Amino acid sequence: MSSLLHGYHVRANGVRLHLLRYGGQGPCMLLLPGITSPAITWGFVAERLARHFDVHVLDFRGRGLSSSVPGMDASLDAMAADVLHLMEVQGWSSVTLLGHSMGARVAIRAAARDAPRIGRLLLVDPPVSGPGRRAYPVPLPWYVESIQKAVKGITADELRPYAPTWTDEQLQLRAEWLHTCSEEAVIQAHAGFHSDDIHADLAKLQTAGLLMTAGRGGVVLEEDLAEIKTLAPGLLQCTASGAGHMIPWDDEVDFHRLLGEYLEVDLL
C-alpha cells in the first residue's frame, strides 16, 4: 500500500510550488530533486523514507506541477529562496534536506543562507562545476533534446538511449512527466552549474550531514572530495561505488543502505 498521502500547493517566494507528501509521521524531510526530475519520479525513494519521516517532495519552479511561465527566474538563488520561504510558510524547523544533483546544490545554498531552519543535509552527487572549474559532464543538448521530444510525445523505448540502465517502469514515468520540465528553466539551471560558486557556499556550512557520491558518475572526483572535506568537515562522505550519477536509479539497494546507515534507520 502506498504511503503517498496527497499532493498540495504552497504560495512561496511569489510562485506556486507543488509538493507530494508521503508518510506524514516522524521528523520532517524535504526532498529536492535534480534538474529534470519532477517530484513524482522520486516516489520510490520517498516511499522508503516515509517509514521513518514525514516526507515532502518538491516540484521545483519550472517543473512538474509548480509554476512555469516564460521568462521565469529559475536560477540557483531563486530556487534556494523558494525552499527557504517554503519552510517559513509551512512553519517547519529542524528540517532534513535531501537533495540530488541540482537539488543538492540548492540545499547547499539554502543552508549557507539560513542554517537555523535546517537540521541536517543529505547531499547526493552535487555538481561541483563552477567558475574556473571543469565543466559538468552531462552536456546541455542531452537535456534539451530529450525535453523537446517529450513535449511532442515520447515513449519509454524512445527514452531508453538517454538512460539505458533504467527499468521499464522508471522510463515510463520519465516519459510521462519529462514534458513538464521547462526547457528555459533547465537551460538556466545548467548554465548555473558553471557560473554559481557552490564551493563558497560549502565553506559557509554550519549544518552537519552526509555527502553521497557516485563511484561511476564522473561528477564528483577524488580530488573534489578532498577539497570538500577541507571546506565542509561536517559532511560525512560515502560512495555508491557501482552507481552512476542517478544513484537511486542505478543502484537502489546501495543507495538505501548507505542512506539508512547514516540516518540509523532500516530502508531496505
List, for residues 219-234, the tens digit of each pLDDT value. Answer: 999 999 999 999 999 9
Mean local confidence (pLDDT), 43-51: 97
Q: Which pLDDT belongs to residue 4?
A: 97
CA distance 105 to 78: 12
List, for residues 2-34, the tens digit of each pLDDT value. Answer: 999 999 999 999 999 999 999 999 999 999 999
Domain-embedded: residue 141: no
Question: What confidence category does residue 165 fall into, taking pLDDT thresholds of 50, 70 and 90?
Answer: confident
Q: Which pLDDT belongs to residue 108?
A: 98
| pLDDT exceeds 90 at position 57 | yes
Q: Which pLDDT belongs to residue 1?
A: 85
| Sole residue written with cell 538563488 | 77
Question: What confidence category does residue 132 fall into, taking pLDDT thresholds of 50, 70 and 90?
Answer: very high
Domain-embedded: residue 161: no
Domain-embedded: residue 189: no
Domain-embedded: residue 148: no
Burial 81-96 (b: 16+ CB within 10 A, else e): bbbbbbbeeeebeebb
Q: Which pLDDT belongs to residue 102?
A: 98
Domain-embedded: residue 21: yes
Pseudo-torsion of CA 104, 260, 238, 227, nearest 10°? Answer: 40
3-state SS assignment for residue 214: strand
What one-character-per-residue DSSP string does 113-146 give?
Answer: H-GGGEEEEEEES-----TTSPPPSS-HHHHHHH
Containing domain of residue 208, as a range? 4-134+195-263
Mean local confidence (pLDDT), 214-223: 96
CATH of the domain at 52: 3.40.50.1820
Domain-embedded: residue 172: no
Residues 6+ apart with CB under 8 A from 14: none
| pLDDT exceeds 90 at position 133 | yes
Domain-embedded: residue 74: yes
- Split into its structural domains, the chain has a count of 1
Whether the CB-CB separation of 151 and 68 falls below 8 Å is answered with no
Domain-embedded: residue 19: yes
Quote the strand ranges of the chain, DSSP E: 4-12, 15-22, 28-32, 54-59, 95-100, 118-124, 209-214, 235-240
